[in-house]
Chains A and B, each alone.
Chain A
Amino acid sequence: MDISFALTGKGYVIVAADTTAAHSIIKVKLDEDKIKTLSPHLLMAYTGEPGDTVQFAEYIERNIRLYQIRNIYALRPPSAASWIRRSLADSLRSRKPYSVNLLLGGYDTSTHTPHLYWIDYLGTLASVPFAAHGYGSYFALSLLDRYHDPEASLEEGLATLRRCIDEVSKRLIVSPGKYKVKVVDKDGVRELDF
Chain B
Amino acid sequence: MSIMEYNGGSVIAMVGKNCVAIASDLRLGVQSLGIASNFQKIFPVTDRIFVGLPGLATDVTTLHEQFRYRVNMYTIKEEREIEPETFAALVSSTLYERRFGPYFIEPVIAGMQRTPSGSYKPFIAATDLIGCLNFAKDFVVAGTASDKLFGVAEGLWEEDLGPEDLFETISQTMLNAVDRDTNSGWGVVVHLLTKDKVITRTLKGRMD
Show the binding face of A for B, using Cβ within 8 Å.
Answer: 85-86, 88-89, 92-93, 118, 120, 122-128, 131, 137-138, 141
B197 to chain A, nearest CB (A): 28
Q: Is the CB of B35 within 8 A of A123?
A: no
Question: Could you list 30 examples of A-B contacts with CB < 8 Å?
Answer: A85-B61, A86-B62, A86-B65, A89-B58, A89-B62, A92-B58, A93-B101, A118-B36, A120-B30, A122-B56, A122-B57, A123-B61, A123-B62, A124-B7, A124-B57, A124-B58, A125-B57, A125-B58, A126-B28, A126-B35, A126-B36, A126-B39, A127-B36, A128-B35, A128-B36, A128-B38, A131-B35, A137-B33, A141-B34, A141-B35
Show the binding face of B for A, using Cβ within 8 Å.
Answer: 7, 28, 30, 33-36, 38-39, 56-58, 61-62, 65, 101
B residues near A122, Cβ cutoff 8 Å: 56-58
Complex CA distance for A141 and B7, rounded to whole angstroms: 17
B55 to chain A, nearest CB (A): 12
Complex CA distance for A125 and B7, rounded to whole angstroms: 12
Extra contacts besides A85-B61, A126-B35, A128-B35 (10): CB < 8 Å: A86-B62, A89-B61, A122-B58, A123-B58, A123-B61, A124-B57, A124-B58, A126-B39, A126-B57, A137-B33
B37 to chain A, nearest CB (A): 9
Complex CA distance for A127 and B39, rounded to whole angstroms: 8
Complex CA distance for A93 and B100, rounded to whole angstroms: 12
Q: Is the CB of A141 within 8 A of B33?
A: yes
B97 to chain A, nearest CB (A): 13
A residues near B57, Cβ cutoff 8 Å: 122, 124-126
- Interface of chain A, helix or strand or loop or mixed? mixed
A residues near B58, Cβ cutoff 8 Å: 85, 88-89, 92, 122-125
Complex CA distance for A125 and B59, rounded to whole angstroms: 10
Q: Kindly name the residue among B28, B58, B62, B101 whose own CB sees the greatest number of chain A CB atoms within 10 A.
A: B58
Complex CA distance for A128 and B39, rounded to whole angstroms: 9
Complex CA distance for A131 and B34, rounded to whole angstroms: 11
Complex CA distance for A85 and B39, rounded to whole angstroms: 15
Residue of A nearest to B34 (CB): A141
Complex CA distance for A86 and B59, rounded to whole angstroms: 10
B43 to chain A, nearest CB (A): 14
Complex CA distance for A131 and B33, rounded to whole angstroms: 12
Complex CA distance for A137 and B32, rounded to whole angstroms: 12
A residues near B65, Cβ cutoff 8 Å: 86
B186 to chain A, nearest CB (A): 12
A102 to chain B, nearest CB (A): 13
Complex CA distance for A141 and B34, rounded to whole angstroms: 9
Complex CA distance for A92 and B35, rounded to whole angstroms: 20
Residue of A nearest to B38 (CB): A127
A140 to chain B, nearest CB (A): 11
B36 to chain A, nearest CB (A): 4
A175 to chain B, nearest CB (A): 19
Complex CA distance for A123 and B28, rounded to whole angstroms: 13
- The 3 tightest CB contacts between A and B, nearest first, are A123-B58, A126-B36, A124-B57
A94 to chain B, nearest CB (A): 11
A residues near B30, Cβ cutoff 8 Å: 120
Complex CA distance for A85 and B30, rounded to whole angstroms: 17
Q: Is the CB of B56 within 8 A of A118?
A: no
B residues near A88, Cβ cutoff 8 Å: 58
Residue of A nearest to B36 (CB): A126
